[in-house]
Each structure stands twice: as structure tokens, then as C-alpha cells.
Amino acid sequence: MSVFFALFSKIVPLYFSVILGFISTRLLGCNKETIAKILFYILGPLIAFNATMSVKLDSSVVFLPVFFFLASSIMAFVLLFLFKKVWKDNTSNLLAFASSTGNTGHIGIPIAIILFDDHLVDVFIFAVLGTMLYQNSVGYFITAKGSFTARQSLKKVIQLPVLYAFILGFVFNFLGIKMPEMFLNYIIYLKGCYAILGMMFLGMGMEKLKSAKAFDVKFISYALSLKFLLWPGIVLLFIYIDRNFLLLLDEGFYKVMFLYSIVPLAGNTVTIATLLNLKPEMMSLTVFISILISLFYIPIAIFLFM
């Protein structure tokens, strides 16, 4: 039970940033589109570059982001095919993208720090690269395809700086180039800034939830069910298969994978919905509800799994 209360006390302070984001827009008139661009085009690529360059690569570590990238991508295309029959507009694109990823960065990493030793924390952070790669390639393509042609969507993906940050980070890692020591503290500041701004951005999106259209019961129900039921089910199925047949990973990696699967919907889905002007109010509300649920869902799920 101490694990439950430790996790609960760690998650609660994150909501303070959401409140600050709401206040910054409501009272100070801050522009959430500007924050979205900072997160998407500056902080995200810098963090991806540093993590890719710094992690010690082996087959088990590399397997995790590849697994989650492929799982998210396959799930997104399957959901898009299924939900095209439910919605005739680009709502199906948004739901397929959002339900196939999670908030592994802003919420997952702080929880990993509580539960895991330094090695598994580094493994979890590297696994998050699978999320970032999906969100900024396949996920972005699927979402943009709801508003643009396939060629226009592909062109937008090619222009994303985070893809080149990944490539450059792997090149530096392969060549053995390390981050200069004088920048190490700066990287810590960047991660903190990314986490705080990301949570504030959720609050900034909540300020304009004045339309009843933002509360789409069907969309919210599908998104939450897929994220909190289907995702853990897929990961638990893989853990069972690997533990009994494949024998690729150890118990520590299973814990990393399970935590990865139970985080709420990703805040970056709101960022992309804002940049593409694709129902950002509805996405903001859905993400916020998922975070509220995760306050209790994550501690209970981890308590039962352990």
C-alpha cells in the first residue's frame, strides 16, 4: 500500500502545472499555439537528440522503443480502418492517433524514477523514444491525413525536426561522441522545462472549453477504453509470451513495459491537434479526463502488477 501512496503523492503535484497553464491563458492572455511550437519544434527534438546520443545501446534496450513504435503504428492503422465506419470526418484520424500512444514523458518518467533503479530509469527514458518517433512520424501522418492529402501529410512529416534529431543522436552515439560536461545541467533543465510546459499546455487548452461540442461522450469513451484496457492487455499478453516462450527480456524490462502501457493519453496529442487545428478542445478535455483517472488507476495497476 505504501507504493500506492508514494505514486499518488508524486502525481498530484503535476496538476499544479495544469492549473498554472489555465491561469496563464485565462488571466494573462498567453498564446497556447506558441507553446505548442516550442514543445514540438525545439524542446522535443533537443530531448530526443540527447537521449539517443547518451543511452548505452544493446539488443534488449533497442528492442523496447522498436516494439512500442511498431505496436503504436499497427494499432493506429487498425483503429483508423475501424473508426472510419463510425465517423465520416477526421475525428477517426484523431482517435486512432491519440489512442495508440500515451503520456510516457511528462507522467511516465517521474513515476519510473520512483519505482526503478538508475539503469531501468534510463531504459524507460530510451523506450520513450518509441513514443516520440511514433507521434512525430506515423501518428502525425495519420492525423494530418484527416485534413490533408497523403502527399501533403508525408511532406509535413519529412519537415519535422525531431526525426533529424533522432538520426543525429544515433550517429553521435555510434561514433562515441558524448555530451560536453558543461551542458549536462542544461539538459536537466530542458527536461524539467519540457515536463512543466507540457502539463501547462493541457491547462491552456482547458481555458477555451466553452463549446458543448468539446464533450463528445462517444469519442471520450472509446479513447479511454482503448488506452486503459487495450494497451495494458497487449503488453501483458506479450509479457506472458516472452516469459514462457521467447525469453528475450528480464523481469525489470517487464516492469518498464507495464508502466509504459498504463500512463494516460499523451499531452502531445493536444499539441498536434492544435498545430493542425483538428478539434483541439475535444482532445484537451479527453486528455485531461484521462489524467484525472490515472491519479488512481496507475497506483492501483502497479500495486496489482507487483
Cell of 193: 522545462
- Distance (Å, rounded) from C-alpha 73 to C-alpha 84? 17
What CATH code is carried by the domain that includes residue 157? 1.20.1530.20
Over residues 122-136, the mean pLDDT reads 84
Q: Is residue 260 part of a domain?
A: yes
Of the pLDDT bands very low, low, confident and very high (cuts 50, 70, 90), residue 210 is low
- Distance (Å, rounded) from C-alpha 38 to C-alpha 132? 15
Over residues 190-218, the mean pLDDT reads 73
Give the total number of structural domains in the chain: 1
The alpha carbons of the chain give a radius of gyration, in whole angstroms, of: 18
pLDDT at 81: 92
pLDDT at 136 over 90: no
pLDDT at 150: 64
Range of the domain at 169: 2-205+215-305
DSSP 8-state code for residue 101: -
In terms of DSSP H, where are the helices of 87-149? 91-99, 109-115, 118-135, 138-144
- Give Cα separations from 162 to 41, 94, 145, 157, 179 (angstroms): 7, 20, 19, 10, 18
Percent pLDDT > 70 in the chain is 92
Residues 6+ apart with CB under 8 A from 305: 255, 258
- Distance (Å, rounded) from C-alpha 210 to C-alpha 190? 33
CA angle 297, 239, 110 (to 5 degrees): 40
Of the pLDDT bands very low, low, confident and very high (cuts 50, 70, 90), residue 76 is very high
Cell of 104: 510516457
Tell the residue number behind the cell numbers 490533408, with chain if given.
148
pLDDT at 301 over 60: yes
Q: Is residue 210 part of a domain?
A: no
**Alpha-carbon dihedral of residues 110, 195, 230, 294, nearest 10 degrees?**
70
- Distance (Å, rounded) from C-alpha 135 to C-alpha 288? 18
More confident residue, 116 or 244: 244
Tell the residue number behind the cell numbers 534496450, with chain if given.
61
Q: Is residue 130 part of a domain?
A: yes
pLDDT at 147: 61
pLDDT at 73: 95
pLDDT at 290: 92
- Distance (Å, rounded) from C-alpha 184 to C-alpha 203? 30
Q: Is residue 282 part of a domain?
A: yes
